[in-house]
Amino acid sequence: MGLDLPRHPNSSIALSTARSGLFTTAAIALLIVLTLSSTDSIAVTTYRCEVGIVISYSDKPCLNGKERSLSIDPANPTDADKAAAIERAKAEKHQLKQIEDAYEKERKQAEANQKKVRQEKSTRQKQCAKLEVKIRREREDLSTTFGKNATQQRTRLKRAEEDYAMDCKA
């Protein structure tokens, strides 16, 4: 069961946004519960308005369309409301756990990728340093070589310079 998260070039931003959205939703829900539980028993009438396929909820009667009045007493929720709230909390906790697990997995993957890049860079730097030493030695050998051997030495130097250009100049 995968969790579809928004994709972004910097995927940690998408995860961070998803996590902050859940935390914001949870904080607002907690604030509402605390506010409503601190007041005396206040019954609230909410109107459910249906216009075509659109359903909206309001504290005022519908102007047009089908209307249904819902009476809500936040200080005395029904057992069904309590059970539904508990189920929503469990579902949100599960969803948050999935997001956190996905975030941790992505963080570990990014860390592994960075380590691999650092190792490749280090290996390349060592290889280039070896090629630089080889070029320096070939030049030294060329300066002390004459005749037919000098031609062969120039060829070795040229090849070493080409290897360096291909592997280290890019």
Residue 83 shares a structural domain with residue 60: no
Last residue of a domain, one of 73, 95, 112: 73
- pLDDT-derived band at 61, boundaries 50, 70, 90: confident
Residue 116 pLDDT: 97
Residue 42 pLDDT: 55
Residue 138 CB coordination number (10 Å): 19
pTM score of the predicted model: 0.45
Quote the tokens at residue 119. 């190792």
Residue 130 shares a structural domain with residue 162: yes
Out of 14-23, 90-99, 112-121, 152-161, pick the least confident: 14-23
Residue 164 shares a structural domain with residue 108: yes
Burial class (CB in 10 A: 0-12, 13-18, 19+), 15: buried
In three-state secondary structure terms, 51 is strand
Residue 67 shares a structural domain with residue 83: no
Structural domains in the chain (count): 2
Residue 84 shares a structural domain with residue 148: yes
Residue 84 shares a structural domain with residue 130: yes
Is residue 36 in some structural domain?
A: no
Residue 83 shares a structural domain with residue 161: yes
Is residue 26 in some structural domain?
A: no
Domain ranges, residue 133? 78-168
Residue 137 shares a structural domain with residue 108: yes
Out of 48-62, 63-77, 88-102, pick the least confident: 63-77
Residue 163 shares a structural domain with residue 122: yes
Average pLDDT over residues 110-134: 96
Q: CA geometry: angle at 88 spanning 27 and 49, to 5°?
A: 90
Residue 160 shares a structural domain with residue 116: yes
Average pLDDT over residues 36-55: 67
Residue 72 pLDDT: 64
Is residue 164 in some structural domain?
A: yes
Per-residue pLDDT for 131 more than 90?
yes
Per-residue pLDDT for 133 more than 90?
yes
Mean of per-residue pLDDT scores for the chain: 79
Residue 105 shares a structural domain with residue 163: yes
- For the chain, the C-alpha Rg in angstroms (whole number) is 35
Is residue 133 in some structural domain?
A: yes
Q: How far apart are CA 36 and CA 72, in angstroms?
A: 11
- pLDDT-derived band at 70, boundaries 50, 70, 90: low
